[in-house]
Structure 1
């Protein structure tokens, strides 16, 4: 075996698991059981509303569940899940909530899964989060080398309670924290009240992540196009709140990621922020950015990552601007918008002309470093289930492949390297 022929160690940075909602009751504090009954009683009404607004397609839903009934049990059944991961060639995964993204049949109590937002009742929000976190800790413990569980963290609540939940989640075996992408009427993330939260996340070495899902749907009416145009913007928004407010400077151990929101938006955002910081003409009238000690791109490379679910060819073409090590691929299992159950075919169509060394970083090694996976423990599994470069259509002779990307690699972040922007032939 060689570097170019070894099977890939694949780690999906975005997968989902969750109990059928009614089964969360034993994990929920008894004081909230009556509220939970009320929440369950509203499920049919919520699904009807989703269908009316176009968020749920009745015909698609019926076929999706019919065609994938067995595999979808992997959303909460460990044995079935491992079978599906192996079939996809995935050795390990980062586990977010809400296995069912069609009927919301596995929603965490009180809607604190992918819909986690600052407008939820603080008491119910934390109770629902704790219930899911307790179950998830049990779930990932069965094969802890293969799963990094993402704890739900309603961060806009009482700070002491939030910090305590971080430590409790870490002690239970969970490895990352999902915070609301929207704070609604609560304090925005540049507020210093959150500093103890970021400090605790850094201390426990738990990456903080936002995930697409929450959005101000009440503003959209039945215009679904507005929703899908914005739904990936909301999880990205906390990035510049944390960055410009100096949170990354004050907490250099804090790692922050944006999940299932693509990474197509990042090169232009990064170009804009760097130029602003470095004194571009359009920003000279502004006050100095005293909270920052280095350009935004340096914080990005040091502390930020993107769980770029179902990474697109266009995004891979921008990887030298984004940073190869900042892109973490994800399958989104078992959501229909992901690559499962055709992940192997999807990988071949997407990575066939990407250098093997970079493919290894994007498909697994970068995620192993961010989320703390033990690659030595995963290596035997990867050799058994992982696809080889040849199976992805990548040639043994990597010379021509490397050469085809040489110019893009040299240009990199053109506003810093001084090279012409390759697509437009213009200077930075």
Structure 2
């Protein structure tokens, strides 16, 4: 049995343990969205911001109209779409900061739990965290302002998710490129406040890249507190693109993925085996080829023979992926599901992206039916919620009654009762799995395939 087949088998076993019984084919799904968003209307962050930064905050607020005009000019903001979006969804969008409305929207989508990133408004940026440290969190921000803005959002978010803690995992903003002692202190403060994960910049700009040992205390603190690190799409060198929006769109998922190979090849996951790391809202279509390429390099493929050994790693990259990495694969596509045995079923965490227009809300149930209709139920349970519960520490016992009340059933997703036939239809894909680790593709280490 290959490593990937072993992973798949263990996933099925875990799914059977976490569901009430294997024969309850039509039990509602316990769905956890690994990518949702919340944030106050920007001006309302003032009470959560240290008063010594209020003057700078006023200047930041004063520049909102200018920034919105610039977004429109560059094509990032479509004015006609924006007007229609806010008009059609006015009440539901209040769920971005109103806890009561939020539960109504989650229930309507069948989502029992969620991982909460910043920036509820992805159209006009009306809910941007102070000083642009939400999804635009990057190493090019002033360290003091960056930490102040992050802490203001984190304080509010802790209050927000604390109203219904069993249903939310709040993601603290962490300007990791600042002073290490302050960063570590914010990790512990965020944990004590009830937040459950950490969003780090996908771009460090002119600051030390993530292979630098100066960050080791940060990685150690994240592992100690059991707070997964996550990057999220958003930050990118937009000044380089001019008015050519296609360049930005082509690269926007590459930037949050980039820290993965910096952390992996520098041995961070080997030195900190308790550290979890994920990439959010960047798809997972890019991962199979990257994994194939990295595994072969490590295992001694012909194209890498002239390179020195990768001493920082003690195992192939795919083993670190299965042990410590995950992808918050928002709006998981059919093409990506077809590659799930290469990526690893347990490594794909579905997300709705609520309340962003590029997400599945408010039509999540229909979207799930169109996407998962022929996926085995046990694998669907993992990708739609159970894997996320393990990564982000959700209490499935507390979520179970909610899931029974609101969750769609396999039948409602169009999944047939004859699961043996469904399993059989995917048998060949499952058997092939990570083909580059099989004797067929790599019979002798060093043979290029």
- Give me the TM-score of the superposition, normalised by structure 1: 0.98
Where does residue 123 of structure 1 map in the other structure? 144
Where does residue 18 of structure 1 map in the other structure? 39
Where does residue 413 of structure 2 map in the other structure? 392
Aligned partners of 1:411 and 1:420 also within 8 Å: no
Tell me how far apart the structure 2 counterparts of residues 414 and 46 of structure 1 sit (CA, whole Å): 48
355-364 or 411-420, which moves further after superposition?
Answer: 411-420
| 1:399 CA displacement | 1.2
Where does residue 31 of structure 1 map in the other structure? 52
Secondary structure, counterpart of 1:157 in structure 2: coil
Secondary structure, counterpart of 2:230 in structure 1: strand
| 1:380 CA displacement | 0.4
Deviations 1:258-307 (A, max 9, x none): 00000000000000000000000000000000000000000000000000
Deviations 1:36-78 (A, max 9, x none): 0000000000000000000000000000000000000000000
Q: How does 1:167-178 map to 2 (within 5 A)?
A: 167-178=188-199
Where does residue 305 of structure 1 map in the other structure? 326
Question: 1:352 and 2:373 equivalent?
Answer: yes
Secondary structure, counterpart of 1:293 in structure 2: coil
Change (3 A) 1:37 1:125: same
Change (3 A) 1:336 1:419: farther
Secondary structure, counterpart of 1:190 in structure 2: coil
Where does residue 173 of structure 2 map in the other structure? 152
| 1:105 CA displacement | 0.3
Question: 1:136 and 2:136 equivalent?
Answer: no
Where does residue 255 of structure 2 map in the other structure? 234
Secondary structure, counterpart of 1:257 in structure 2: strand
Tell me how far apart the structure 1 counterparts of residues 69 and 325 of structure 2 sit (CA, whole Å): 38
Where does residue 5 of structure 2 map in the other structure? none
Aligned partners of 1:325 and 1:366 also within 8 Å: yes
Secondary structure, counterpart of 1:195 in structure 2: helix
Tell me how far apart the structure 2 counterparts of residues 388 and 309 of structure 1 sit (CA, whole Å): 21
Q: Give the alignment partner of residue 292 of structure 1, picking from 313, 322, 325.
A: 313
| 1:418 CA displacement | 3.6
Tell me how far apart the structure 2 counterparts of residues 340 and 250 of structure 1 sit (CA, whole Å): 39
Moved over 4 A (4+): none
Q: Give the alignment partner of residue 211 of structure 2, picking from 172, 190, 210.
A: 190
Question: 1:282 and 2:314 equivalent?
Answer: no
Where does residue 424 of structure 1 map in the other structure? none
Question: 1:266 and 2:287 equivalent?
Answer: yes
Q: How many residues align?
A: 423
Q: Give the alignment partner of residue 246 of structure 2, picking from 196, 208, 225.
A: 225
Q: Give the alignment partner of residue 339 of structure 1, picking from 350, 360, 374.
A: 360
Across the aligned residues of Structure 1 and Structure 2, the Cα RMSD in angstroms comes to: 1.0
Tell me how far apart the structure 1 counterparts of residues 198 and 439 of structure 2 sit (CA, whole Å): 38
Tell me how far apart the structure 1 counterparts of residues 403 and 438 of structure 2 sit (CA, whole Å): 37
| 1:400 CA displacement | 1.1
Q: Runs of 5+ in structure 2 lacking a partner?
A: 1-20, 443-447
Where does residue 124 of structure 2 map in the other structure? 103
Aligned partners of 1:156 and 1:186 also within 8 Å: yes
Tell me how far apart the structure 1 counterparts of residues 382 and 439 of structure 2 sit (CA, whole Å): 26
Q: Give the alignment partner of residue 49 of structure 1, picking from 55, 70, 94.
A: 70
Tell me how far apart the structure 2 counterparts of residues 341 and 285 of structure 1 sit (CA, whole Å): 53
Tell me how far apart the structure 1 counterparts of residues 118 and 165 of structure 2 sit (CA, whole Å): 17
Where does residue 81 of structure 2 map in the other structure? 60
Secondary structure, counterpart of 2:170 in structure 1: strand
Secondary structure, counterpart of 1:305 in structure 2: strand
Where does residue 363 of structure 1 map in the other structure? 384
| 1:419 CA displacement | 4.7
| 1:4 CA displacement | 1.2
| 1:420 CA displacement | 6.6
Where does residue 404 of structure 1 map in the other structure? 425
Tell me how far apart the structure 2 counterparts of residues 400 and 218 of structure 1 sit (CA, whole Å): 52
Question: 1:318 and 2:365 equivalent?
Answer: no
| 1:331 CA displacement | 0.1
